[in-house]
Structure formats: structure tokens, C-alpha cells
């Protein structure tokens, strides 16, 4: 017959085993609830299609078609629009859930941990972000995989292992081939990783990770260079929308070999560079020398390269005295787009958050939320660093913010059309990084204060 001590020990063992099971069930139930919220946002709505949508139905792993292969692969696995939207919803829910879990796990204070987790999950369901899940375009997968990639980097940076390195490489591969510009951003991340491994982050796992990133970047650049149509179209768009309208810049391009005629002149202000691409002599020059000439132009015109993109980071609102007269009024509602707070509403959605919370997290066309968040996050980080020294948790969100700004310049250089749409990934990345920085800095200050407080 079991004694009282055995009964107590058996009950304690049962509780110790039952508690993790209950927590796992609770987490699964919460994730299912979050998935349902993501689904409610776009369920049953019309699926918008655009001229670019057809390009994402052509799959090639070697650059035979215009679009990289991640989204075409997803759309091939799920062959109907309804299944594609469902897959995008599941991917979004899983990615934001993983990011919130990875970022909050490093927070010690339970209230700050809960706050970081809730804010990141809410950011994944705000209208400007979640509405892209209803479209047949690359933006939904790009946003979701960006959130997942940041989560993977946070997890690997905190506890590097073979598992975290392999998952990071797998996500990087899918993320890099979501959009053409992400291939270049991924190459920049590879350079940073190689420098970090060489300088400070030395271990066999990280060395293998750096080698894997180099292979992915080399593969991406090779595939991207094989089909230059997107690059040619972007440069033609820049020439139509910016260069031809400026006599000095136009003369510089003519002096560097750009064909110029009445036909070229008549394309000024055209859409997407399509009219220029139809001129045979111009198309030949563009394919042979367009990219190198534009790169030389960027180097020789630092004001254009460094200063001219800045107004489009903040954007402006329309007035009754100066309406939107741009060629892209349908896709860029304001006279000047805002890359930090895009207003491009390509998708259809239902709002599930109160407007006051949604505007705090992502106010379209306005950068007040980003400025307020940046001041708070960097202010807390500066105070924490000055009092307590550096915090290794800050590396990943700080690098994410820096790459968001760099991607903004890349988006602006890459074309004059649909800047709002192409900037949605960097706008989301900047908010993710800033909220995580604010959470980590606040957590550190609270923990230090609690440690120094006298015991009662």
C-alpha cells in the first residue's frame, strides 16, 4: 500500500508532466485563434488580379521567366485562387506567430514579454499588411517570409545550432526568390554575415551558415541576371518618369550613349517604361548598356542618389489646389508616395482592430506613427546602453531597420512606378525592428530597476 509520501510525490510528478501538456494545448488553441483572425480578414472576398499576376503563374528555377520562383512554386502547389489565398493566410499566421514567439522569448519581464508578443501579432493583422493576403501577387509571401526570416535570425543569434542554421538557410532561400529586389537585399545580408563570422561570430556552425548564404546569393544573382527584362523595364520607367523631364540629366544620358529622338522624347511621363521598350534602337541600348550607365549616373550624381529619395520616404498628402496628376494615380493615390507608410490598397480586407490601434501600428500615408515609435525606441535604447552597456539582443532588430532603409533606396532607384506597393515590405520591416528594439530596451531598464530595488 502506498504511503502518504508516495502519494504526494506521485501527485507532484503528475502535475509536472501535465503542466507542459496543458501549456502546449493552450498555445495550439491560441495559434488556431490567430489563424482564424487572419482568415476572417480576407475570407470570402473577391480576389484582385493585376497585370503582374500572370507572371507569378510561370515557374522556373533557372530564370527562364520574369519572376523568381518562390511565389510561382506556391501557386503551382495550390492551383486555384481560393487555395492560394488560404495558403497565404496560413503562411502569414505561422510567420507572425513564429516571429512573436522568437522575439518575446528573449524578454525577461513577463509584462514586457506579453506586450512584445501582442504588438507583433497585431502588426500582422493590421489592414495595410494583412490585405495583401487576398491578392495574387508576391507581396503577401514577401511580407510573411520577412517576418519569418527576422524570427529565424533572432532565434539563431540567441542560441546558434545546426537546427537554427538550417532553418535560417531554408527560409532565406525562399525569401530571396520571392521578389527580384530581395535577391539584392539578400546579397547584402550575406556580406554582413560573412563579416560577422570573420570578425566576431566565429564557430563552425556560423561558418557553414555563411557559406550557405554565399551559395544562395550566388544562385540568386545568376538567376536574376539571366533574365534582365524586369531590370530593363525598371530603368526604362526611371528614364520616362525622371530623366527625360530633367534637361541636365537627359543630356548626361545622351552624352553617355543613350539614343534620343522624337519618339524617345514623346515617351516622357509614360507608364512603366513600356513605350521606350517598344523603340528597337533604345531597347538594344538598354539591354547592352542601360544598367551600367544608370549605375555610373548614380555614382556621379550624389545628390540624386542620397537626397532625392528622401521625400518619398515620408510622402505627402493631396490638396484641392494640387491634385494628383501622376501617371500612377490609380496605384499611388497621393502626389508623392510614402515608402515608410504606403497607401497602396491592392487587396481587399476587413479590419479586425480598432482604428485607433491600427493607426498607432500602421497609419497609411502618414509617418507620425513611425517617427513616434523611432523616437521612443531609439531613446530607450540609448538610455539603456548609456546606463548598462551594449545589449547583444539589439543586433538583429537594428540590422533589420538598417536594411529596411537601404531597401527603400533600392526601391526608389529601381523604378518610378508603384513605389508604394514595392515599399510595403520595408515599411513592415522597419516597424518590426523598432517595436522589438523598444521592447528589449524597456525590458532591460525594468529588470535593472527591479534588481536594484531594496527588498521588503
How far is it, in rounded angstroms, from Cα 211 to Cα 192? Answer: 12
CB count, 10 Å around CB of 258?
Answer: 21
Do residues 403 and 185 make contact, with C-beta atoms less than 8 angstroms apart? yes
C-alpha cell at 99: 516571429
Each residue of 29-58: pLDDT tens digit?
A: 888 889 999 999 998 888 888 888 888 998
Q: Grid coordinates 535593472 are at which residue?
A: 448
Residue 28 CB: number of other CB atoms within 10 A? Answer: 10
* 167 grid coordinates: 532553418
CA-angle at 214, arms to 161 and 414, nearest 5°: 120
What is the CB neighbour count within 10 angstroms for residue 387? 10
- State pLDDT tens for residues 332-356: 667 778 899 998 888 888 999 998 9
Condensed to tens digits (0 to 9), the pLDDT of residues 136-180 reads 999 999 999 999 999 999 999 888 889 999 999 999 999 999 998
Residue 262 pLDDT level (bands cut at 50, 70, 90): confident
Residue 317 C-alpha cell reads as 498628402
6 falls in which pLDDT band (50, 70, 90)? low
Beta bridge partners of 336: 316
Tell me how far apart the terminal alpha carbons of the chain are, to the nearest angstrom.
46
137 with 145: CB under 8 angstroms? no
Backbone angles phi, psi at 336, to 5 degrees: -130, 125
- Do 183 and 167 form a contact (C-beta atoms < 8 A)? no
C-alpha distance from residue 317 to each of 233, 345, 365, 366, 397 (Å): 28, 16, 7, 8, 30
Rounded to two decimals, what is the model's pTM? 0.90
Amino acid at each position: 500500500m502506498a504511503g502518504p509520501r508516495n502519494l504526494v510525490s506521485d501527485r507532484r510528478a503528475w502535475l509536472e508532466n501535465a503542466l507542459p501538456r496543458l501549456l502546449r494545448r493552450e498555445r495550439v488553441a491560441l495559434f488556431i485563434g490567430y489563424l482564424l483572425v487572419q482568415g476572417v480578414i480576407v475570407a470570402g472576398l473577391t480576389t484582385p488580379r493585376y497585370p503582374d499576376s500572370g507572371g507569378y503563374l510561370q515557374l522556373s528555377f533557372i530564370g527562364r521567366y520574369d519572376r523568381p520562383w518562390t511565389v510561382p512554386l506556391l501557386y503551382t502547389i495550390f492551383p486555384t485562387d481560393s487555395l492560394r489565398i488560404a495558403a497565404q493566410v496560413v503562411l502569414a499566421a505561422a510567420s507572425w506567430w513564429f516571429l512573436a514567439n522568437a522575439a518575446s522569448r528573449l524578454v525577461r519581464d513577463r509584462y514586457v514579454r506579453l506586450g512584445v508578443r501582442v504588438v507583433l501579432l497585431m502588426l500582422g493583422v493590421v489592414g495595410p499588411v494583412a490585405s495583401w493576403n487576398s491578392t495574387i501577387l508576391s507581396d503577401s509571401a514577401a511580407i510573411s517570409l520577412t517576418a519569418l526570416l527576422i524570427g529565424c535570425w533572432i532565434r539563431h543569434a540567441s542560441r546558434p545550432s545546426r537546427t537554427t542554421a538550417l532553418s535560417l538557410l531554408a527560409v532565406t532561400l525562399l525569401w530571396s526568390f520571392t521578389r527580384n529586389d530581395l535577391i539584392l537585399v539578400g546579397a547584402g545580408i550575406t556580406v554582413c554575415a560573412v563579416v560577422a563570422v570573420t570578425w566576431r561570430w566565429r564557430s563552425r556552425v556560423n561558418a557553414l551558415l555563411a557559406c550557405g548564404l554565399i551559395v544562395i546569393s550566388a544562385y540568386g544573382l545568376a538567376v536574376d541576371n539571366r533574365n534582365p527584362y524586369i531590370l530593363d523595364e525598371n530603368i526604362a520607367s526611371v528614364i520616362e518618369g525622371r530623366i527625360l523631364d530633367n534637361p541636365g540629366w537627359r543630356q548626361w544620358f545622351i552624352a553617355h550613349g543613350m539614343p534620343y529622338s522624337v519618339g524617345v522624347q514623346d515617351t516622357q511621363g509614360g507608364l512603366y517604361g513600356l513605350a521606350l521598350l517598344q523603340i528597337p534602337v533604345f531597347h538594344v541600348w538598354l539591354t547592352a548598356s542601360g544598367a551600367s550607365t544608370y549605375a555610373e549616373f548614380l555614382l556621379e550624381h550624389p545628390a540624386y542618389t542620397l537626397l532625392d529619395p528622401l521625400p518619398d520616404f515620408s510622402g505627402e498628402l493631396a490638396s484641392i489646389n494640387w491634385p494628383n496628376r501622376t501617371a500612377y494615380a490609380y496605384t499611388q493615390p497621393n502626389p508623392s508616395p510614402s515608402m515608410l507608410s504606403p497607401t497602396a490598397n491592392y487587396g481587399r480586407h476587413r479590419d479586425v482592430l480598432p482604428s485607433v490601434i491600427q493607426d498607432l501600428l500602421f497609419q497609411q500615408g502618414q509617418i507620425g506613427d513611425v517617427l513616434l515609435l523611432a523616437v521612443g525606441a531609439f531613446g530607450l535604447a540609448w538610455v539603456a546602453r548609456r546606463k548598462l552597456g551594449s545589449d547583444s539582443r539589439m543586433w538583429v532588430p537594428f540590422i533589420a531597420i538598417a536594411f529596411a532603409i537601404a531597401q527603400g533606396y533600392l526601391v526608389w532607384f529601381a523604378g518610378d512606378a508603384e513605389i508604394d506597393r514595392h515599399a510595403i515590405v520595408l515599411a513592415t520591416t522597419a516597424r518590426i525592428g523598432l517595436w522589438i528594439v523598444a521592447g528589449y530596451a524597456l525590458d532591460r531598464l525594468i529588470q535593472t530597476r527591479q534588481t536594484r530595488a531594496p527588498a521588503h
